[in-house]
């Protein structure tokens, strides 16, 4: 009764793990030492399986759920009026023990997030050429202010384009494609029949 369910779970988890392994291997091959991470774009009800697949494949799971890190996206920033006010509001609720990440559309946004006290800045939807300069500049600002802010890049990055984003100054590359549109690994389960007529699995 559980055969098809088990195979479907195995196929899905293995597809995620395989993509995670390919991305980590690709990063290693070009000397990128930063984190290769998934995102929270997981299948409803299947998060633990897909996050486990990421770990098995050698990728970071990023946030496990909404309680493990505060992610301030454009809607949060617009609702509070600025990056600075959004970070301040989040910090007042999250306390010192929860990291705050800010989605940034420009270098200017990243500088404001750093000054406001963000732990991670996400350079979102940057082209590789724009990212090369932005990541370098943001890291330089962090060093100048003795701030240990991490730089994450995300937004439409695929296996084919990933090497263009594996740049100095980038600490984390996150992939929604690690779980979205991932091909399953095709497994089958067969019952072996012994010549004596006994059945062995």
Residues forming the active site:
41
CB of 41 within 8 A of CB of 180? yes
Bridge-based pairing of strands 120-124 and 150-154 is: parallel
Taking the C-alpha atoms of residue 184 and residue 16, their distance in angstroms, rounded to an integer, is 8
Residue 120's DSSP bridge partners are: 101, 150
Give me the residue label for tokens 């330089």. Answer: 140
Helix (H, G, I), strand (E, B) or coil at 51: helix
Helices (H), 36-172: 47-57, 74-80, 83-94, 107-116, 128-144
């Amino acid at each position: 009764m559980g055969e098809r369910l088990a195979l479907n779970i195995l196929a899905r988890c293995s597809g995620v793990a395989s993509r995670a392994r390919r991305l980590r291997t690709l990063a290693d091959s070009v000397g990128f030492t930063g984190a290769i991470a998934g995102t929270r774009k997981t299948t409803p009800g299947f998060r633990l399986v897909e996050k486990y697949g990421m770990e098995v494949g050698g990728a970071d799971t990023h946030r496990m759920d909404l309680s493990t890190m505060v992610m301030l996206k454009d809607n949060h920033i617009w609702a509070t009026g600025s990056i600075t006010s959004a970070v301040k509001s989040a910090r007042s609720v999250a306390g010192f023990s929860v990291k705050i990440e800010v989605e940034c559309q420009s270098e200017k946004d990243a500088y404001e997030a750093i000054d406001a006290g963000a732990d991670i800045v996400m350079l979102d939807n940057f082209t590789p050429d724009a990212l090369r300069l932005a990541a370098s500049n943001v890291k330089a600002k962090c060093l100048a202010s003795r701030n240990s802010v991490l730089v994450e890049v995300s937004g439409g990055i695929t296996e084919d384009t990933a090497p263009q984003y594996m740049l100095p100054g980038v600490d984390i590359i996150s992939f929604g494609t690690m779980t979205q549109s991932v091909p399953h690994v095709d497994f089958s389960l067969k019952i072996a029949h012994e010549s004596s007529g006994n059945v062995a699995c």
